[in-house]
Amino acid sequence: MTTLVWFRQDLRVTDNPALTAAARGAVLPVFILDDTLPWAPGAASRWWLHESLSSLGSELSRLGASLVLRRGPALTVLKSLVAEAGITRVVWNRLYEPAAAARGAEVKAALTARGIAVESYNASCLAEPWHLPRPYQVFAPFWRALQERGEPSQPLPPPLRLVPAAAAARSETLSDWKLQPNKPDWAEGLRATWTPGEAGAAARIDAFCEVAPGYGRARDFPGEEGTSRLSPHLHFGEVSPRQVWHAIRARVPDADIYLRELAWREFSIHLLHQSPTLPEEPLRSAFADFPWRRDPAQLRAWRHGRTGYPIVDAGMRQLWRTGWMHNRVRMIVASFLVKHLLLPWQEGEAWFWDTLVDADLANNAANWQWVAGCGADAATYFRIFNPVLQGEKFDPAGAYVRRWVPEIARLPNAVLHKPWQASAASLDEAGIRLGDTYPRPIVDHAAARARALAAFNGIRAKAA
């Protein structure tokens, strides 16, 4: 019997339940690129996907099977592969995004009707949505319910070897998919920052375990290497959450602060599962006709890190260059877009979707809604980050801003986060001409704050 393993967002051989279930007999591993689904991967994700598939292909070859690559709607592709290779059984690990889950259900029904054995597994949740007693809109009880299930089970070992399918199946080549940029090749910063693939993910866990005891403090300082940076590896399933959970538990004392963050990831997955329109519509309907502004010039300034607020610009440039942004700074730039600029959170969501290597539909949507105040357990509307104070508090020595906004690096710490308050002499000495070599603030903080409070007050009046 030959089993087709449909790889999706589980690009690993260790702790892969579908692969393990298939590995008792002959295996045909397949990845299908389906750009007909909504929210097709953005540019940064496509770069990562290329690298990750390349890595998975090597891993599978090493074990004795070769990865088949195909494009098209999953069901169409799977039907033809089943016919081509004499497949009698198809297995995969489940996804929870609305379109992907619907695709899985469609495939399951159609293949079952043709007499094919079909099985799906959980590979990317600590608890699948239907494992908890009820749906949650608030994180605290969600986290409690998750903990009450006890420790997750132990990860599965990788298969020792794989028996390849007797009948070969045609594969497309990765380079034909053109997932990577060429003209221009903007991926230099990504290559310099990341090692996509299962081995890279394992190395990242090892590196994080070294610094994880300091996580509770260090995670808030973007100039330090205090966070795990596991998000893209988790998104593509190069590592499973339970592998991370057990690695941290075994090696880090007092790991709960970090494990809680894994639970936030899970919380978002559950929210999207409950509310399929989460990426498009505000969860709280009072926000349906919120008076968002339209301002292409300011949106462009935000995207490219030219707002005149150093901590915001640093974050946006780190994102553009490396495909990733420190979480503390994500909150600052998101708050700035939504509150200071009053631009729709969907605009920020779309930009992050295209530029983040860890772009994940559930996490991206849930977190943007959280910042905008229209989501689950959302930040209250009057919580408006002051980009100057946030910079001074979390980047006091200026390491982060100086790295990503080099044109103001020579400013003294006292004004680094507010160049417009620097004296003429001090600007001169630092080689800065405000409005020329570095922008003046595109909005005044106090005025923008007052405007946001007024706009968000309208929501409160409506909800009451």
Q: Which residues bind DNA (CB under 7 A)?
A: 139, 261, 264, 327-328, 331, 379, 382-386, 389-390, 393, 445-446, 449, 453, 457
- 5 and 19 in contact (C-beta within 8 Å)? yes
- Is residue 429 among the annotated active site residues? no
**Which among 15, 234, 218, 277 has a CA at the least distance from the CA of 121?**
15
Torsion of the alpha carbons at 154, 159, 165 and 166, rounded to the nearest 10: -140
- Is residue 413 among the annotated active site residues? no
Q: What is the DSSP string of 264-281?
A: HHHHHHHHHHH-TTTTTS
Catalytic residue among 261, 281, 392, 407: 261
Question: Residues in the chain, how many?
Answer: 464
Query: Is 55 or 268 the residue whose CB approaches DNA more closely?
Result: 268
413-435 as b/e: b if 16+ CB within 10 A: eebbbbbbebeeebbeebebebe
Min dist. Cβ of residue 378 to DNA (A)? 10
Catalytic residue among 6, 143, 245, 368: 368
- Is residue 345 among the annotated active site residues? yes
Query: Is 140 or 424 the residue whose CB approaches DNA more closely?
Result: 140
Structure tokens at 345: 């959170």
Query: Is 379 or 427 the residue whose CB approaches DNA more closely?
Result: 379
- Is residue 368 among the annotated active site residues? yes
Min dist. Cβ of residue 386 to DNA (A)? 4
Catalytic residue among 39, 186, 264, 420: 264
Catalytic residue among 84, 186, 327, 407: 327
171-186 as b/e: b if 16+ CB within 10 A: eeebeebebbeeeeee
Min dist. Cβ of residue 389 to DNA (A)? 4
How far is 424 from 409, CA to CA, in rounded Å? 16
Query: Is 178 or 383 the residue whose CB approaches DNA more closely?
Result: 383
| Residue 348 CA: distances (Å) to CA of 267, 299, 371 | 21, 9, 11
Q: Is 224 left (phi over 0), alpha (psi -120 to 50) or beta?
A: beta
Min dist. Cβ of residue 362 to DNA (A)? 15
How far is 279 from 345, CA to CA, in rounded Å? 10
Query: Is 329 or 408 the residue whose CB approaches DNA more closely?
Result: 329
- Is residue 327 among the annotated active site residues? yes
Give SS3 for 118: strand
Query: Is 132 or 455 the residue whose CB approaches DNA more closely?
Result: 455
Min dist. Cβ of residue 220 to DNA (A)? 7
Catalytic residue among 345, 351, 353, 370: 345
- Is residue 292 among the annotated active site residues? yes
Min dist. Cβ of residue 249 to DNA (A)? 20
Q: Could you list the active site residues?
A: 261, 264, 292, 327, 345, 368
